[in-house]
Amino acid sequence: MPGLQSLRAESGGASLPVQAARETGLGGDGSGSRRFVAVGNLLGFQQNQFFPETPGKAFEETTLLKPLAEIRDQITVYRGLDHGLRGGHFAVHTFLSGVLHHESKQRPDGNVTIDQFIADEIGTQTRFPSLTVGSEGGIHGGCQLSWTKSGVRVPPITGPAALFEKLFVTESKARRSHQIRENSLQASILDSVVEQAGSLSKRVNRDDKAKLDEYFSSIRDVEKRLQARRRWADQPKPQPPFEKPADTNTVDDLPLLYELIALALQTDSTRVATLEIGGSFLPQDLGIDKSYHSLSHHGNDDEAIANLITLETYQLEQFGTFLSRLAAIEDGDQSLLDSTAVLFGSGMGNGNSHTNTDLPIVLAGGGYGRGEFKKLATKGPAKVPLCNLFVDIAQRMGVSTESFGTSTGSFS
């Protein structure tokens, strides 16, 4: 598989996957539908190189925001949004939920993340309710970005090759027939469970009935997933616009992962996706011979900070390229970026001091990009939780809700 740079060269500087997708008619039938992508960094960013000083449209082009200059009018940068939590690496998993895992047991939705919250409502409209992409290597048990309502970590798709196969490789007829039989068996078992639970609900007290209602809610979620699996089991996947890529387990994987997520949205294979950067994000190809995690504990060492800025600038460059890619893809009478809200940030505010406040947040496309920097209150009654923004994102995605996680109201 040739590298991404050579692929672009072959296509006259454009992205070959996107160009090929247009030529082969890869566009799905979800034209104009709302979509959501969240990109999370495990180790934060250098805040003094990330945040501008001047609020509004005249904000400064900081070192880390410079790669977004060409798409500046499609982004909004926020400072002051977080979940008010502590825990360092052990709180990074709250980035998209606002809730610590060990404190989620008594909550109706647990520590569900906003991507899964949205996917539970709209996910049956596409082959994949959501795509979770990340690494199983590195610190604290691999990708922690996505969690279900039942408190289960969503295992990630771990590289370009696996993501390519999921999107474009159609199973054999024998395998599809097996899946259809498996779906029918699971549906039969589910019918039996519903019948037994319904009979039991007539004989229990009020508290137990409330638990049964939660159980029925879980069953309905399973039914939705089964219906979706039946719908797609016998339908072939889109034709791949290029050959299966190889995994490199380095920073070279990042451009391909972004390309494949763009294609997943364009083909309407999914409308919800997450990408976590961290774990086995190896920086050697950028001329850095230390691990990303060890660099984050820089202790104000100038060389370590310089290497971190190189790593973080690269991440912003690839994110900017992804936004430009979405802006170049037609989606009905608008661009794919116009219909896709793209969140970029981290559950870590300062990697060196392991703080989880003052998170770096960029929100692009989907009606959110206004070319502005918004500096919000960091404490007191004017403090706005990040989950308030998630409520707004969910509502724009068509989810009927007035709250999410630790939200305190609407976002404005």
The reported pLDDT for the residue numbered 26 is 57
pLDDT of residue 200: 60
> So what's the pLDDT on residue 11?
35
Residue 229 has pLDDT above 70, yes or no: no
Can you give the pLDDT at residue 205? Answer: 67
User: Which band of pLDDT confidence, cut at 50, 70 and 90, is reported for residue 388?
Assistant: very high
Q: Are strands 340-346 and 334-335 parallel, antiparallel or unpaired?
A: unpaired
Q: Would you list the DSSP string of 303-317?
A: HHHHHHHHHHHHHHH
d(CA 354, CA 89): 7
> Token pair of 94, please?
């709250």
Is the distance from CB of 338 to CB of 365 less than 8 angstroms? yes
Report residue 379's pLDDT band, with 50, 70 and 90 as the boundaries.
Answer: confident
Q: Which of 40, 95, 98 is nearest to 407 (CA)?
A: 98
Task: Give residue 409's pLDDT.
Answer: 92
277-282: average pLDDT: 72
| 25, pLDDT greater than 50 | no
Mean pLDDT of 218-236: 68
Residue ranges per domain, the chain? 4-166+240-396, 171-235
Secondary-structure breakdown of the chain: helix, strand, coil percentages, each rounded to the nearest 5: 45, 10, 45
Instruction: Please check the confidence at residue 80 and state whether its pLDDT lies above 80.
Output: yes
Q: Are 292 and 276 in contact (CB under 8 A)?
A: no
CA-wise closest residue to 307 among 289, 320, 322: 289
Higher pLDDT, 87 or 341: 341
**By mean pLDDT, which of 58-62, 285-289, 361-365, 368-372 is the weakest?**
285-289
pLDDT score, position 185: 56
Q: What is the pLDDT of residue 9?
A: 38
Question: Rounded to the nearest 10 degrees, how much is the dihedral formed by the CA atoms of 268, 264, 97, 114?
Answer: -10
pLDDT for 204: 62
pLDDT for residue 105: 83
The C-alpha atoms of residue 179 and residue 201 are separated, in whole angstroms, by 32
**What is the arithmetic mean of pLDDT over 185-191?**
56
Class of domain 4-166+240-396: alpha beta
* Residue 218 pLDDT: 63
The residue type found at 90 is F
pLDDT, average across residues 313-328 = 97
φ/ψ of residue 373, rounded to 5? -115, 125
pLDDT at 234: 72
Percent of all residues in the chain with a pLDDT value above 90, rounded to a whole number: 54
Which amino acid makes up residue 11? S
Band the pLDDT of 136: cuts 50, 70, 90. Answer: confident
Decide which of 74 and 140 is more confident: 74
Residue 232: is it exposed, middle or buried by C-beta count within 10 angstroms (0-12/13-18/19+)?
middle
Q: How far is CA 142 from the centre of its chain?
A: 15
Rounded mean pLDDT, 366-381: 92
- Is the distance from CB of 262 to CB of 166 less than 8 angstroms? no
DSSP-assigned letters across all residues of 247-298? P-SSTTHHHHHHHHHHHHHHTTS-SEEEEEE-SS---GGGT--S-HHHHHS-
Instruction: Please return the burial class of 261, using the count of CB atoms within 10 Å of its CB with bins 0-12, 13-18 and 19+.
Output: buried
Closest CA to 35 of 259, 265, 263, 238: 265
Residue 277 confidence (pLDDT) above 80: yes
**108-135 residue pLDDT tens:** 888 999 999 999 999 989 999 999 999 8
- Residue 24, pLDDT score: 43
pLDDT of residue 151: 86
State how far the Cα of 239 lies from the Cα of 233, in Å rounded to an integer: 16
pLDDT in tens, 235-271: 889 999 999 999 887 788 999 999 999 999 999 999 9
Q: Enter the DSSP assignment of 75.
A: E
Q: Give the number of other Cβ atoms within 10 Å of residue 165's Cβ.
A: 15
